[in-house]
Structure 1
Amino acid sequence: MPPGLRAAGGVVKKSGKKAAGGFTGIEFHKGKGQHILKNPMVVQSIVDKAGIKSTDTVLEIGPGTGNLTMRLLEKAKKVIAVEVDPRLVLELQRRVQETPYAASLQVIQGDVMKSELPFFDICVANIPYQISSPLVFKLLTMSSNFRAAIIMFQHEFAMRLVAQTNDKLYSRLAVNTQLLARVSHLLKVGRNNFRPPPQVDSSVVRIEPRRPPPPVNLREWDGLVRLCFLRKNKTLGAIFRQASVLALLEANAATMAALQTGAPDAMQHASMFIDADTAEPADADPMEDDSAAAPSDPNQLRGKKHKFSPAFKDHVLAVLTSRDMSDKRAAKLSQDDFLALLAAFNSANIHFSP
């Protein structure tokens, strides 16, 4: 996935000449996503669409040298900026010195994916694109009751986030994200709005967490959705007839039976929800990769002998038939369809996480 874009203002080239913002000597690295959002109208549009109140604390991820930061400080009570590059931290601190906003800015140097995020009301982010999916998942599974996140993504990724049933880009990413949040596309940002221009266009997306969150076991939910989108254009009947799927589900059923006896390890494991920091490696896309192997993925069983009982197969297919789902395809299913299917399977003691 291509690197993302940064709203890093005041950059100069190696020649050392001053640019907007008055800072010199900073060389930006394209490979780290350090492209500069140079269009002030786009910066202002992002701030306007964020809906910031004068009492808000704003978390800004990837502030660069602060073009967007300065506009956010004009609107918010406080801005907490998380920046991994120590050079940019220094430039941001210098930029805000001796301004009325110096006391309103807190800068945290570090990797946002490895940092414990403080309280905030609104998140505004221009990020390296390789962390797009993990960051969305981290934000949506944290306990903080933030109001919205306004994030710049690669345009295609943004379109996948907002995709609806029957859309070409409808995927596990869209289903999982929209379970936890309302997602809307705000504006497309062409590559020529950045210096140097990246290879792709960008889009700004608004993500509003559902409060309260849906009463769904996320491990069970993701296990079902992952299976269904392994072959999203196959019917569910075909997917749930696969020997690897049936063997996996019957093994899960045995684990759940043991859990009901009160086995401590099984009880602890079953109570876990998926977490971006612990369930998968930091560089994985826990919401995006429709075919990645995971604890609930039958691909892990390739090369093994798949054993399941005929009675269990009949049991699984009976649930599909009772919901009139055997001939349906994942690409055609809505959120309500997935929720109803998960409830029916769980009620029949069929589970998608060990």
Structure 2
Amino acid sequence: MGKIKKSKPKSKSTNINQGIFLNKQVGQHVLKNPLILQTIVDKAALKSTDIVLEVGPGTGNLTIKLLEQCKKVVACELDTRLSAELIKRVQGTPYQNKLEIIHGNVLKIDLPYFDVCVANLPYQISSPFIFKLLLHRPIFKYAVLMFQKEFAQRLTAKPGDKLYCRLSVNTQILARIDHLMKVGKNNFKPPPKVESSVVRIQPKNPAPTINFQEWDGLLRIAFNRKNKTLSAIFKQSGILSLIEKNYGVHCSFNNIPVPKDFNMKDFVIKLLEDNDFAASRARTMEINDFLGLLQLFNNNGIHFG
């Protein structure tokens, strides 16, 4: 009998280019299709004076095409092996002095100045990165970013859509978001488990004058049960306890006496009913509806920060 060959255990990494291993668990998927890469750069419509921020450049397939179009690329890369490969690619070329690499976790560093952000993001950091980007100052011109398809659909979802959620409202109040293109999983090496999409994000300038912490606090409550009416949501004891505590702080700070028979539940429901919000549901509310609701609550001493 012949010898039985033992099967090798499947690796969580993929070998690419000169012994470099990509770790799928941290979102290392190299976009290999040159037509897709070029289309992304074309959609970015870069000027020769633009400074571009790229996150997760990997081995530099997108970076090289960006360097051809702009003044400078500042690439943020966590993996020093990949950044070393990128440095090799530009050594001795006209692009060498146009590339700056920042080593580190993009969520933990101060973002540099940039005009445009173009990136094939590790999908695990999509949500925290987009808010770090949109709250960054000075305001940049726009970003062209690749996300997991469903995440991109949440970004662009409208009231009434199945995927309309807190993420949709939080990003759309800060920026205009447009879907640009779909990207199939076979355009990557190694292929991810999901399809991807590219979106264009243009921050609103001037930025809306809201307390974002309060705004997000209200949305967390409203979208926790997005199919329920606001009246039903604000009758929940946990939510009433939270806003009653904040109301007490507000009244104390502003020397406002609170009647002994004050009932927060009755107070909130009356506010909602008198202003036609009681039957509203988060899943169908427009941004202006949420703005009006937050203003109504704040004007009556109810806060969510």
Q: TM-score, structure 2 length as denominator? A: 0.91
Q: How do residues 196-207 of structure 1 correspond to structure 2 at under 5 angstroms?
A: 196-207=190-201
Task: Give 1:187's match in structure 2, choosing from 173, 176, 181.
Answer: 181
CA distance in 2, matches of 1:309, 1:224: 26
1:129 aligns with 2:130: no
CA distance in 1, matches of 2:261, 2:21: 63
1:235-273 per-position Cα deviation (integer Å, ceiling 9, x unaligned): 001111122222211110111233336xxxxxxxxxxxx
Amino acid at match of 1:182: R
Amino acid at match of 2:25: G
Amino acid at match of 2:51: T
Q: Give me the CA root mean square deviation.
A: 1.7
Unaligned runs of 5+ in 2: 1-13
1:88-126 per-position Cα deviation (integer Å, ceiling 9, x unaligned): 111111100111111111111111111111000001111
Question: Which residue does the alignment assign to 1:325?
Answer: 277
Amino acid at match of 1:86: T
| Aligned partners of 2:27 and 2:124 also within 8 Å | no
CA distance in 1, matches of 2:134, 2:264: 35
Q: How do residues 137-152 of structure 1 correspond to structure 2 at under 5 angstroms?
A: 137-152=131-146
CA distance in 2, matches of 1:242, 1:114: 36
Task: Give 1:209's match in structure 2, choosing from 203, 208, 229.
Answer: 203
347 and 26 in structure 1: CA distance in 2 versus 1, 3 angstrom threshold: same
Task: Give 1:315's match in structure 2, choosing from 267, 274, 282.
Answer: 267
Q: C-alpha displacement at 1:162, in angstroms?
A: 0.6
1:293-315 per-position Cα deviation (integer Å, ceiling 9, x unaligned): xxxxxxxxxxxxxxx96533222
Question: Which residue does the alignment assign to 2:291?
Answer: 339
Higher Cα radius of gyration: 2
Amino acid at match of 1:192: N
1:155 aligns with 2:149: yes
Q: How do residues 235-254 of structure 1 correspond to structure 2 at under 5 angstroms?
A: 235-254=229-248
Relative to its length, the structure with more strand (as a share) is: 2
Aligned residues: 289
Amino acid at match of 2:198: V
Q: How much identity, in percent, do the aligned residues show?
A: 55
Q: How do residues 214-225 of structure 1 correspond to structure 2 at under 5 angstroms?
A: 214-225=208-219
CA distance in 1, matches of 2:286, 2:114: 31
3-state SS of paired residue (2:21): coil
3-state SS of paired residue (1:212): coil
1:42 aligns with 2:40: no
Q: C-alpha displacement at 1:27, in angstroms?
A: 1.5
Amino acid at match of 1:155: K
Q: How do residues 63-74 of structure 1 correspond to structure 2 at under 5 angstroms?
A: 63-74=57-68
Q: C-alpha displacement at 1:217, in angstroms?
A: 0.8
Amino acid at match of 2:201: I
3-state SS of paired residue (1:198): coil
Question: Which residue does the alignment assign to 2:21?
Answer: 27
Task: Give 2:88's match in structure 1, choosing from 85, 89, 94.
Answer: 94
Question: Which residue does the alignment assign to 1:283?
Answer: none
Q: TM-score, structure 1 length as denominator? A: 0.79
